[in-house]
Structure 1
Amino acid sequence: MKTLPIVQIRTTPTVLNFEAKLGEYSIRQPKAELQMQTKPAQLTVESYPIELSIDQSRAFSAYTGGSMAEMNGRIYSGIQQLFLQNLAERVEQGNQLAAIHKPGNTVVNIVGSDWQARPFPESRGPASSDNVDVRFTTRQPDLHYEPAVSELNVIVNKPEIEYHRGIFDAYVKQYGSIQYTPPAIDIGL
């Protein structure tokens, strides 16, 4: 019995090699710049001095009589009053003398009671503890307020983004092959 010759086939596979490295992002954002300006508050106060006024004219009038015009005015008005009082008394005495027929209305009784001197009108003003006027005058201070003012300016910097590409390498590490080995043929006849 004869065997059939066998053909040998030998194959080697193709080997592909892949190397990959991921890409990288680099993100950097500089800090924001802050600019701030402040104008401080301002308070202005304007005050006024206190005014003191003292009026002693009535006190001087009570001490010395005051000015000549004031003294003459008081004497003149006092003499008018004195004249009117004396006139009224003389009229009364005349009325009593007219009624001489009544008992007690004698000339001696009427004229004899009029022996005291009449006082001269007062040339000085009235004396009082309130003759000096003291007056304080105050004014409220003027206030002017300016509030503080703040200015804020923010400068935002954009982010800086960089991308570094990754590596992708593909290559054939081993090529595929097919090898045929024919059987040995014996030609021996």
Structure 2
Amino acid sequence: MQLPQIRLQSTVARISIATTPPVQEIEQPPAELEIRQPPAQLQIETTPGKLTIDQTKAWEDMDLKHIFRRIEEFAEQGYQDWLAGMARLSEQGDELMRIEDGGNPIADQAKENSEPPMYEFNIGWIPSLFSVKTNYEPAKVHIDVQARRPMIQARPNPPLLRYTPGKVEIDLAQRPTLKIDVVNLKLANANQFETSI
């Protein structure tokens, strides 16, 4: 037996979504920077070193003396020789005054006055050691520095922003459908079916 059937055939709706993403652009111009560095002030004061060399004693050891020094030595030597001569004459006079004590003072004095003196000789250095005297005063340096700070001027630039908003487009790609169909339904007469639904 064939029963009447109702057949339903449907199609679901479909939605299409088209998205345009937003675009954000950021541009940062560099800051304007100006730097000036004043030079530092530098002052240097130098007291030069002083070296003194005294060769007077070395020249005197080589018998190369200044005339004033030579005159002074001759005067001193003459004075000493005069004193020594006076002492010798006084002593010899005393010996002659006591001639009655015996001895031969005249012969002894003649021999003493006629013989040259005995000079001692030894090894010597000309000029003598450490006869050249040196003295050194080291140099002095005074440094004065005055530093100066740099002069900095900065002008920042704001960032440049560009924004394009995104878009979302929604559309109906497929409409829903419903198809109804009746099968195995027979008409009994013009107005009635064999089976009532």
Q: TM-score, normalised by structure 2?
A: 0.48
